[in-house]
């Protein structure tokens, strides 16, 4: 009985960390047989596991405690704080999102073998330059695909949407262009190590692909039973790679599908993340998470656990980046203001103008600072005279004003606000 209790305690601890048989078979378990520990772990795991069927493939996963913590943190970050209007203006959101989509497109392509630097790839995308080789074409295509799925996020997932996304991803990169946006029609494909030749995964027969893809679409579109959207998006990621429906481009498509689903479910904050960049840094563990899941009766918990960690890492990376940029921007704004002869209220009006993309009027300044119309008008005229503010248009009989960004070069500073926002992330 004492030995049974000891074995049960070990099994519970290993399950808390969700270890695979290959991770426990050589661990010290005292007098307890490893096979017994594993059997107890499997029994404990079977209680409450969710099972899913995609065509002829059955998968399952456990919603372990670590998942609850991470998805809660993701939900919290996504709903407030970092992404508030106070921290991110409309223009800075656009800039951050565009930069992140570029980084995701580049990293996802690099995972699949694209060879180029981040700076050169970003330069190509920003200049909309024609790709010069296959690596650049992969990145260019992935960037177009990411923008495509963002535009189609309100649509249901269909086989045609998957095919069109794949066509965009692989355009001009396949040996046989007929396979762009077309399901494979043979089984001459395996997933293997490029150096050793070790086979990691033998995809399902091409004859079963259509039914499996249809099942994936039905699963994505079915909200009758709640699953956390981030978890469900990761499962879609896994299944697309597992089915391996195309001759090439399956990994890029699978990762894009996660983004599509997260955006569809209102997680617009993922636009600011490069999850593939986090995955690329741990490529070996990424591949292993597939292998661990497949070799444990398609238990996706290993794959979900790895991807949740990378999503959280991507959030943390972006949070640090924004905090650093906000600090730089605040110092920049304060430097500009301190170089000018304004009273405190005028400095505050200027700071507001520098932070916002929206034009303001004498009336809005009057209301915000509870001052007379004439005082508000005088304050704005002084800002205009200093070159900090300019007239940006009219709304009816009311003049509108905005911060004049050319003022950034009128004071002795190392960086402008524009350079702060447009600089490389890391």
pLDDT: which is higher, 330 or 134: 134
Q: Is 390 helix (H, G, I), strand (E, B) or coil?
A: strand
Cβ burial, residue 108 (10 Å; 0-12/13-18/19+): buried
Closest among 157, 156, 182 to 171, alpha carbons compared = 182
Write down the H helix ranges in 273-399.
Answer: 275-280, 283-294, 301-338, 344-355, 362-369, 373-385
pLDDT given for residue 269 in this prediction = 82
Least confident among 53-57, 270-274, 336-340, 390-394: 336-340
Q: What is the mean pLDDT of residues 281-306?
A: 94
pLDDT given for residue 422 in this prediction = 44
pLDDT given for residue 197 in this prediction = 67
Q: Does the structure show a pLDDT above 70 at 7? A: yes
Can you tell me the distance from the alpha carbon of 415 to that of 36, in angstroms, rounded to the nearest whole number?
A: 64
Residue 146 near residue 181 (C-beta atoms within 8 A): no
User: If you average pLDDT over every residue of the chain, what do you get?
Assistant: 86
What are the residues whose beta carbons fall under 8 Å from the beta carbon of 314, sequence distance 6 or more?
273, 274, 275, 277, 278
Can you tell me the distance from the alpha carbon of 88 to that of 111, in angstroms, rounded to the nearest whole number?
A: 30
What pLDDT digit, counting tens, does each position of 302-356 carry?
A: 999 999 999 999 988 888 887 887 777 677 667 766 767 888 888 888 888 887 7
Q: Does the structure show a pLDDT above 50 at 404? A: yes
Find tokens 């636009």 and name the residue. Answer: 271
Least confident among 22-36, 101-115, 216-230, 320-334: 320-334
User: pTM for the whole thing?
Assistant: 0.79
Can you tell me the distance from the alpha carbon of 385 to that of 377, in angstroms, rounded to the nearest whole number?
A: 12
What pLDDT digit, counting tens, does each position of 72-106 carry?
A: 988 887 775 555 555 566 666 676 777 888 888 88
pLDDT given for residue 81 in this prediction = 54
Can you tell me the distance from the alpha carbon of 82 to that of 377, in angstroms, rounded to the nearest whole number?
A: 34
Q: What angle do CA 235, 426, 194 make, to 5 degrees?
A: 50
For the chain, the residue count is 426
Least confident among 18-32, 175-189, 195-209: 195-209
Residue 362 near residue 384 (C-beta atoms within 8 A): no
Can you tell me the distance from the alpha carbon of 237 to that of 252, in angstroms, rounded to the nearest whole number?
A: 10
- H helix or E strand, kind and range, residue 90: helix 90-111
């Amino acid at each position: 009985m004492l030995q049974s209790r000891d074995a049960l305690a070990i099994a519970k601890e290993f399950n808390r960390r969700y270890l695979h048989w290959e991770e426990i078979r050589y661990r010290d378990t005292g007098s307890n047989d490893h096979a017994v520990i594993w059997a107890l772990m499997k029994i404990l795991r079977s209680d409450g596991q969710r099972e899913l069927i995609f065509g002829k493939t059955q998968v399952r996963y456990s919603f372990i405690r670590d998942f609850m913590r991470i998805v809660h943190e993701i939900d919290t970050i996504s709903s407030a704080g970092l992404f508030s209007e106070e921290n991110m203006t409309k223009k800075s959101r656009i800039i951050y999102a565009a930069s992140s989509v570029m980084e995701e497109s580049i990293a996802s392509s690099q995972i699949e073998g694209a060879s180029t630097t981040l700076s050169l790839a970003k330069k190509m995308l920003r200049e909309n330059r024609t790709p010069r080789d296959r690596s650049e074409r992969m990145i260019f295509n992935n960037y177009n695909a990411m923008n495509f799925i963002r535009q189609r996020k309100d649509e249901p997932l269909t086989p045609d949407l998957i095919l069109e996304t794949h066509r965009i991803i692989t355009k001009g990169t396949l040996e046989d262009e007929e396979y762009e946006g077309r399901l494979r029609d043979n089984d001459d494909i395996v997933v293997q190590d490029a150096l050793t030749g070790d086979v990691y995964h033998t995809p399902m027969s091409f004859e079963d692909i259509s039914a499996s893809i249809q099942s994936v679409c039905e699963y994505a579109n079915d909200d009758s039973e709640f699953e956390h959207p981030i978890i469900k998006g990761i499962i879609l990621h896994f299944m697309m790679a597992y089915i391996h429906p195309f001759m090439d481009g399956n990994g890029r498509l699978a990762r894009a599908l996660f983004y599509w689903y997260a955006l569809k479910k209102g997680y617009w904050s993922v636009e600011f993340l490069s999850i593939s960049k986090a995955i690329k840094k741990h490529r070996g563990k990424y591949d292993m998470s597939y292998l661990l899941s497949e070799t444990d009766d398609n238990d996706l918990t290993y794959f979900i656990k790895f991807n949740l960690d990378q999503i959280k890492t991507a959030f943390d990376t972006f949070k640090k980046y924004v905090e650093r940029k906000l600090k730089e921007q605040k110092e920049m704004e304060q430097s500009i203001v301190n170089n000018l002869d304004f009273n405190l209220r005028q400095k505050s009006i200027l700071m507001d103008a520098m932070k916002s993309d929206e034009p303001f009027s004498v009336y809005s300044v009057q209301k915000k600072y509870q001052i007379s119309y004439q005082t508000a008008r005088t304050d704005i005229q002084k800002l205009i005279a200093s070159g900090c503010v300019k007239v940006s248009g009219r709304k009816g009989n009311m003049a509108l004003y905005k911060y004049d960004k050319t003022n950034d070069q009128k004071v002795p500073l190392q960086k402008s606000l524009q350079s702060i926002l447009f600089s490389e992330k890391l």
